[in-house]
Amino acid sequence: MEPRDWRTYLVTQQDRSAGRGTEAVVEAALAGGVDAVQLREKDRSARERYRLGERLRELTGSAAAALIVNDRIDLAAAVDADGVHLGQTDLPIQVAREQLGEGAIVGCSTSTVREAEIAEAAGADYLGVGAVYGTASKDVEAAKDGIGTDRIREIAAAVEIPVVGIGGIDANNAGAVIEAGATGVAVISAITAADDPEAAARRLREVVVDAA
């Protein structure tokens, strides 16, 4: 599935998963219809992430969903992920493309129109734009207060590649992000911390599809 077709995107973070393991949360989220899963887990060792990545590769493959690895190009290659998501201080997009191949999906975190334009010119396949609303779970610029949906609208108008909103998004505000021009939304706590991650993922998808 190509990034333009992604509607809901789960970013893993076990310490925000209400005591549940990441594998269990991902399995439930996939059952609820998420299109892509990003292996984040920055507090784990590379070996632990590798082992988890192997299992998530099996789960996402069975569900025909994309597996994206946060930051680590080498780990993305090691677990045969569909691609990598890079931040503004990570290795350049061109390096990821050289290491993973032309068929790999390369995403980039942005929070301004200029960053978005640079990422698109460098060959990014999609943008993770945020934090849209205030959030404590993602280390991005403006994470405390959020950049707002107006910025989503500006960036979506400035680039041709898909825009995925991230940061403080849940079923109550996801529709506004889509209406502003995002093609999908990425979440952590809205699914991982939910009492029923599968139901939360399903409800989020319904909101996004209805707003599209």
144 is catalytic: no
Which residue among the candidates 7, 49, 97, 109 is catalytic per the annotation?
109
Would residue 138 show up in a list of annotated catalytic residues for this protein? yes
Annotated binding site: 38-42, 70-71, 90, 109, 135-138, 168, 188-189
- Catalytic residue among 7, 17, 40, 202, which? 40
Residue tagged active-site, from 7, 49, 138, 205: 138
Q: 47: which residues sit within 8 A by CB, 6+ positions away?
A: none
Specify whether 62 is catalytic: no
Q: How far apart, in Å, are the Cα atoms of 126 and each of 36, 76, 164, 170?
A: 12, 17, 7, 20
Residue type, 32: G
Q: What are phi and psi of 127, to 5 degrees?
A: -120, 140
Distance CA 127, CA 165 (A): 8
Binding site, annotated residues for Mg(2+): 71, 90
What pairs with residue 128 in β-bridges?
109, 164
**Rounded Cα distance, 121 and 167, in Å:** 24
Q: Which residues are catalytic?
A: 40, 109, 138
